[in-house]
Amino acid sequence: MPQVVCTPDEVVSISDNSLDDISSFLVLDVEATCVPSTGFDWPNEIIEWPVVLLRWDKTDTNDTKRLVVVDEFQSFVRPTFRPKLHPFCTELTGITQAQVDSAPTFPEVLSLCQQFLQRNGILNSEGRPLERFVWCTDGPWDLRDFFTKQVFISKVNRPSWIPLNILDVRQAFGSWYKGVYLRKHNKYPHRNGAFSMNPSYKLKKQLELLGLEFVGREHSGIDDSRNIARILIALAARGAILRPNLDISTNRRFSWMGANGKIVGDY
């Protein structure tokens, strides 16, 4: 299938009031413990929690909506269930044993992240929202799966400031790109379903199709988050609608999750 690289001047006009209700976009891409040759049903622990905060540029007088980076938060996280990193994990993420050994635990990181949100006027002193914001991830896995595993392992409740509806950037990009492709090539899905597109593109491919290159180290949480933020900025400049598009179930469970927060099985 021919691919369309979208240049910055391909902007689709949108009404100004369609996005004004979302003030902040919190981009998150976690890294977690891992070992080779295991499936996804494994008790990963989060070892890096990075957040890139985007807001609308209030100084821009143009009609086009523009997102800008206004702040960042990043912390390594000390795992407690399996505190020793596998060499495979260090090679994949670049995160060292010394970095996690000296890091705060996950509940402490959540508290530090809440303080970051409070400093930026997103939450009040009691942790309640002061504005409408949305968490943004590349796919559903960070907040649907890794976060669910971590709050179970850490025996903490999901904070109310991490709601169950998020913006899956990969899904948003796929939907937008499909529309751009169809318009450019005057193609539309046949009624019998003969024409179709895969709406899911990995992070580097999304950047490539936007005419951008990946900056930094892959599988570094903060670098991945920054690149996802660049995709959101590019989508906003092109008029894509950026709204929550994925609901997360609170009933997500894995086979090793036993009663009373106990991990069962040999891990």
Helix (H, G, I), strand (E, B) or coil at 48: strand
> What average pLDDT is seen over the chain?
89
Express each pLDDT in 143-175 by its tens digit.
999 999 999 999 999 999 999 999 999 999 999
> Does residue 23 surpass a pLDDT of 70?
yes
Express each pLDDT in 97-123 by its tens digit.
999 999 999 999 999 999 999 999 999
> Does residue 135 surpass a pLDDT of 90?
yes
Q: What is the CA radius of gyration of the chain?
A: 20
User: CB under 8 Å to 172, separation ≥6 — which residues?
Assistant: 235, 240, 241, 242, 245
Output the pLDDT for position 61: 64
> Is 6 within 8 Å of 238 (Cβ atoms)?
yes
Element (H, E) at 73: strand 67-76
List of long-range contacts for 209-218, beta carbons under 8 Å, 24+ apart: 209/3, 209/4, 209/5, 209/6, 209/177, 210/5, 210/6, 210/234, 211/5, 211/6, 211/7, 211/8, 217/94
Measured distance CA(149)–CA(44) in Å, rounded: 7
Helix (H, G, I), strand (E, B) or coil at 75: strand
Selected catalytic residue, list 10, 72, 208, 219 = 219
Mean pLDDT value across residues 194-223: 88
Alpha helices in 133-246 (DSSP H): 141, 147-154, 169-185, 203-209, 221-237
Place of tokens 């529309």: 179
The model's confidence at residue 1, banded by pLDDT at 50, 70 and 90, is very low
219 is catalytic: yes
**What are the structural domains of the chain?**
16-254 (3.30.420.10)
Of 64, 93, 119, 18, the closest CA to residue 233 belongs to: 64
31 is catalytic: yes
The model's confidence at residue 223, banded by pLDDT at 50, 70 and 90, is very high
> Does residue 26 surpass a pLDDT of 50?
yes
Output the pLDDT for position 249: 87
Structure tokens at 27: 């981009």
Selected catalytic residue, list 31, 48, 108, 218 = 31
> Does residue 231 surpass a pLDDT of 50?
yes
**How many degrees, rounded to 5, is the angle at CA 219 between CA 218 and CA 225?**
85
What DSSP character marks residue 103? Answer: S
Express each pLDDT in 28-77 by its tens digit.
999 999 999 888 999 999 999 999 999 999 876 666 679 999 999 999 99
Distances (CA, A) of 96 to 34, 86, 88: 13, 10, 11
